[in-house]
Amino acid sequence: MGTLYYGDNLDILRRYLKDETVDLVYLDPPFNSAQNYNAFFHEKDGTDAASQIRAFEDTWHWDIETKKAYDAVTEQPGKASDVMEDKMKSNIRLKRSLD
C-alpha cells in the first residue's frame, strides 16, 4: 500500500503483486492518441532544462505481444475477462461495419 509503480500495467501486476491483490485496474483515457509523450527535466535552480526523454508512445499496435497479453487476461475465468472479451468483440464488429 502506498507504492507507485511506473511501467506497463500487466508487467507490474505480474512481477510485483500477488494474484489475489487486485480486484480492479482503472485506466484513465485518452488512449491511442497517436502521440509520443516526453518527460522534461529542470535545472537545479528550477528552470527548464533542454534535456528530455520519451516517457511513452501512446499508439496501439496489435502484434504478437498484444495477442499474448490479451489471451493471458481473457483465458482467466471471471467477470473482468468476460467484459474485456465482450468489448473486444464489439470493437471488432464496429470496425468491420465501418470498413
12-69 tens-digit pLDDT = 888 888 877 777 666 666 677 788 888 888 888 988 888 888 877 777 778 888 888 7
67 with 53, same domain: the answer is no
56 with 66, same domain: the answer is no
48 with 69, same domain: the answer is no
Res 90: pLDDT: 73
Domains held by the chain: number: 2
Res 42: pLDDT: 85
47 with 74, same domain: the answer is no
What cell numbers appear for 9 in the block? 500495467
Higher pLDDT, 74 or 1: 74
Are 52 and 39 a contacting pair, CB within 8 Å?
A: yes
Does position 99 have pLDDT exceeding 70, yes or no?
no
16 with 47, same domain: the answer is yes
6 with 53, same domain: the answer is yes
41 with 27, same domain: the answer is yes
Domain range for 90 is: 62-99
Separation CA 59–CA 36 (nearest Å): 8
Interstrand relation of 35-42 and 48-58 (parallel, antiparallel or unpaired): antiparallel
The answer for residues whose C-beta is within 8 angstroms of residue 59's C-beta and 6 or more apart is 32, 33, 34, 35
82-91 tens-digit pLDDT = 777 777 777 7
Are 38 and 53 a contacting pair, CB within 8 Å?
A: yes
Are 85 and 70 a contacting pair, CB within 8 Å?
A: no
23 with 67, same domain: the answer is no
69 with 22, same domain: the answer is no
Separation CA 5–CA 30 (nearest Å): 19
Separation CA 84–CA 98 (nearest Å): 21
The predicted model scores a pTM of 0.36
53 with 96, same domain: the answer is no
